[in-house]
Structure 1
Amino acid sequence: MYVILVYDCGEKRVGKMLKLCRRYLNWIQNSVFEGEISEVKLKELTLKAGKIMNLEEDSLIVFSGRTEKWLDKQIVGKERSSIDNFL
């Protein structure tokens, strides 16, 4: 499945969340990630994120769809990290 993940965490937890999410998805902007991920890996990611987060203060939002082709994406300005397919 294709997901867009957004988080909002306290200052002390931001670094840990960034490192965790970068292991599973592509970092596209501050606290925003996207990419293909299996349901099992997404569940693993959300469980690990829940352990980092303060559930009364922080949030994690996941938008999911079948595939990226059903999503129109427009970038204005500089793209943080381009996602290239190369071998």
Structure 2
Amino acid sequence: MFIILVYDIGQKRVSKVMKICRKYLMHVQKSVFEGRLTPSNYRQLKRELATVIDYHLDSIIIYHLESPRYTNKEEIGKIKHQSNIL
């Protein structure tokens, strides 16, 4: 599956969340990651994130796409990360 993950995390935990996300996904903007994951890697990513975030203060949103094939990606402005995923 292809996912796009975005987060809004408290400053104390943001580096831990970023480190976890980088293990599984490509970092495309400050709080945005994308990439293909197997179902087992997806479950592991969610387990690891659950141990770090504060459910009362933090937010993570994950968009699931069955395939990036039918998705268009448009970038405007300075491109900070070149990705060939989409």
Shift of 1:84: 4.8
Q: 3-state SS of the aligned residue for 1:52? A: coil
Name the amino acid aligned to 1:76.
Answer: I
Name the amino acid aligned to 1:53.
Answer: I
Segments of structure 1 that go 5 or more residues without pairing to the other structure are none
TM-score by length of 2: 0.92
Q: Which runs of 4+ in 1 moved over 2 A?
A: none
Segments of structure 2 that go 5 or more residues without pairing to the other structure are none
**Root-mean-square deviation over aligned CA pairs:** 1.3
Question: 1:69 matched to which residue of 2?
Answer: 69
- Looking at structure 2, the residues matched to 72 and 56 of structure 1 have their Cα atoms a distance apart, in angstroms, of 34
Map 1:1-87 onto structure 2 (within 5 A): 1-84=1-84
Cα deviations by residue, 1:44-83 (Å, 9 ceiling, x for unpaired): 0011001100011101111011111111110001222112
Percent identity over paired residues = 34
TM-score by length of 1: 0.91
Instruction: Count residues with an aligned counterpart.
Output: 85
| Change in CA separation of 1:43 and 1:18 when aligned onto 2, cut-off 3 Å | same
| Change in CA separation of 1:84 and 1:65 when aligned onto 2, cut-off 3 Å | closer
